[in-house]
C-alpha cells in the first residue's frame, strides 16, 4: 500500500510540474504578445499591481522565474539562481 501511495504521489507531482510548465509558457507568450514587459506600450505600472501587493519589480522577478523554469525544463541554458526565496515570497497558498 505504501509503495502504491508513493507512486501515486510521484505521478501527481509530475502532472503538476507539466501543468506548471504549460502555464508558465502561456504566461510568457502573453507577457510578450500583449507588450506587458518593461519599455513596451502596455507595460505594467505599480498601480496595476497594488491590489496584489506587488510592484513592477516583483512581477518582473516572477516572469524571470517562470522563464528560467521553462528553459530549465526544456534543457536550455537557464540561470543558475536560487529561486526558493522568490517562491516563498510570491506563493499565495499560505
pLDDT on residue 36: 96
Averages of pLDDT over runs of 10 residues in the chain (94 residues) are: 96 98 98 93 95 95 95 92 91 79
pLDDT on residue 94: 64
C-alpha cell at 34: 500583449
Length of the chain: 94
Sorted by sequence, the CB contacts under 8 Å of residue 21 that are 6+ apart come out as 69, 70, 73
CA distance 51 to 33: 24
pLDDT on residue 92: 84
pLDDT on residue 79: 86
Domain boundaries, the chain: 23-90
Q: DSSP string covering 16-61, please? A: HHHHHHHHHHHHHHHHHHTT-STTSTT---HHHHGGGT--HHHHHH
Amino acid at each position: 500500500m505504501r509503495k502504491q501511495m508513493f507512486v501515486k504521489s510521484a505521478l501527481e507531482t509530475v502532472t503538476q510540474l507539466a501543468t506548471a510548465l504549460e502555464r508558465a509558457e502561456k504566461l510568457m507568450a502573453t507577457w510578450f504578445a500583449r507588450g506587458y514587459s518593461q519599455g513596451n506600450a502596455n507595460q505594467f505600472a505599480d498601480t496595476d499591481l497594488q491590489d496584489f501587493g506587488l510592484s513592477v519589480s516583483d512581477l518582473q522577478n516572477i516572469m524571470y522565474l517562470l522563464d528560467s523554469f521553462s528553459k530549465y525544463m526544456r534543457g536550455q541554458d537557464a540561470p543558475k539562481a536560487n529561486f526558493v526565496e522568490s517562491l516563498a515570497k510570491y506563493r499565495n497558498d499560505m
